[in-house]
Every structure is written in structure tokens, then in C-alpha cells.
């Protein structure tokens, strides 16, 4: 049942997206939104990718106007990555479209089932956030980073 729900959610997300960004590019945008000004190596670590691959990904996002590269004031050899205004607008619009798509599905559900789903999703979010936090703590202790 979980994989069916995940697959259906993926289909709904796809329908809501008119994204000019691939799944990997979208992940970069989301990471930059939450970690403004990170460097390329940190982003590559978060993606479990190599710096050259991540750089090419950022090249495409910069060409699309979604990402800006800024030379660090502290170290001119280091480049900081920032989500551009266009990138922020893209994510906001994507979220609106996804929410509209989900609302249409939820509107077809009985009210009691919607309440149960909301309660389940709140518990899921709490558990997932705790797991991600624990994974980050474990990685920090071992000297590595995770997404």
C-alpha cells in the first residue's frame, strides 16, 4: 500500500509540474532554499554526487536563471550558491500547483478519512524529521554530511 501511495503521489506531482527542471535540479533548488549560500562541495555531498556533476547541474540551473553563484567574501576561491528570485518564484508556483492538485483529490475523500490522513501525515512528518535529524547527528559525528 505504501509503494502504491508513493507512486500515485509521484503521478500527481508530475501532473502539477510544468517544471523546466529535472528531479535532480528540483532537489538542488530545494536544498538551496533551505541552505542559502552553501558551497559546491557541500551541495555535492548533500546530493551524494561528485563536484563536477553538481557543477554541471548548477550550470544548467544558472543558465535557466534559477541559481546565482557568488564569490565568497572570506575566500575568493570559494563560490557560494544562492537561489535566485526566479528560482524562488518557481518553487512557490510549483507548491501552489501541487497543493491544488492534492486538494482536488482530498475533496473526493470522506471528511473522516481526510482527518485520519492528516493525523497520519503529521505523525509521519514528526518521525521523518527525527530520523533526518538523527542521521545528520550521526554524520556530523563521523565527519560526513547527508542530505
CA 73, CA 92: separation in Å to the nearest integer? Answer: 29
* Whether residues 14 and 77 fall in one domain: yes
* pLDDT computed for residue 20 by the predictor: 64
* Whether residues 80 and 43 fall in one domain: yes
* pLDDT computed for residue 47 by the predictor: 92
* Whether residues 56 and 10 fall in one domain: yes
* Whether residues 13 and 33 fall in one domain: yes
* Whether residues 67 and 129 fall in one domain: no
* Whether residues 69 and 40 fall in one domain: yes
Are 83 and 67 spatial neighbours (Cβ–Cβ below 8 Å)? yes
Indicate the number of domains in the chain: 2
Matching residue, cell 505504501: 2
How does pLDDT run across 3-59, given as a tens digit for each residue? Answer: 888 888 878 877 777 666 688 888 999 999 999 999 999 999 999 999 999 999 999
* Whether residues 6 and 59 fall in one domain: yes
What is the side-by-side order of every strand in the sheet holding 38-39? 38-39, 79-83, 67-71
* pLDDT computed for residue 135 by the predictor: 67
* Whether residues 97 and 133 fall in one domain: no
Q: Which residues pair with 71 in a beta bridge?
A: 79
Instruction: Indicate whether 145 pLDDT > 50.
Output: no
Domain that holds residue 52: 2-108
* pTM beyond 0.85: no
* pLDDT computed for residue 85 by the predictor: 96
For residues 84-98, average pLDDT? 92
For residues 58-74, average pLDDT? 91
Amino acid at each position: 500500500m505504501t509503494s502504491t501511495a508513493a507512486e500515485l503521489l509521484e503521478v500527481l506531482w508530475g501532473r502539477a509540474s510544468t517544471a523546466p527542471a529535472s528531479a535532480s535540479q528540483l532537489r538542488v533548488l530545494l536544498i538551496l532554499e533551505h541552505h542559502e549560500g552553501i558551497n559546491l562541495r557541500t551541495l555535492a555531498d548533500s546530493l551524494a554526487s561528485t563536484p563536477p556533476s553538481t557543477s554541471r547541474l548548477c550550470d544548467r540551473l544558472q543558465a535557466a536563471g534559477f541559481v546565482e553563484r557568488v564569490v565568497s567574501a572570506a575566500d575568493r576561491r570559494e563560490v557560494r550558491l544562492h537561489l535566485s528570485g526566479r528560482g524562488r518564484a518557481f518553487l512557490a508556483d510549483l507548491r501552489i500547483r501541487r497543493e491544488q492538485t492534492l486538494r482536488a483529490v482530498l475533496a473526493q475523500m470522506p471528511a473522516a478519512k481526510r482527518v485520519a490522513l492528516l493525523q497520519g501525515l503529521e505523525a509521519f512528518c514528526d518521525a521523518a524529521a527525527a530520523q533526518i535529524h538523527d542521521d545528520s547527528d550521526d554524520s556530523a559525528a563521523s565527519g560526513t554530511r547527508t542530505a
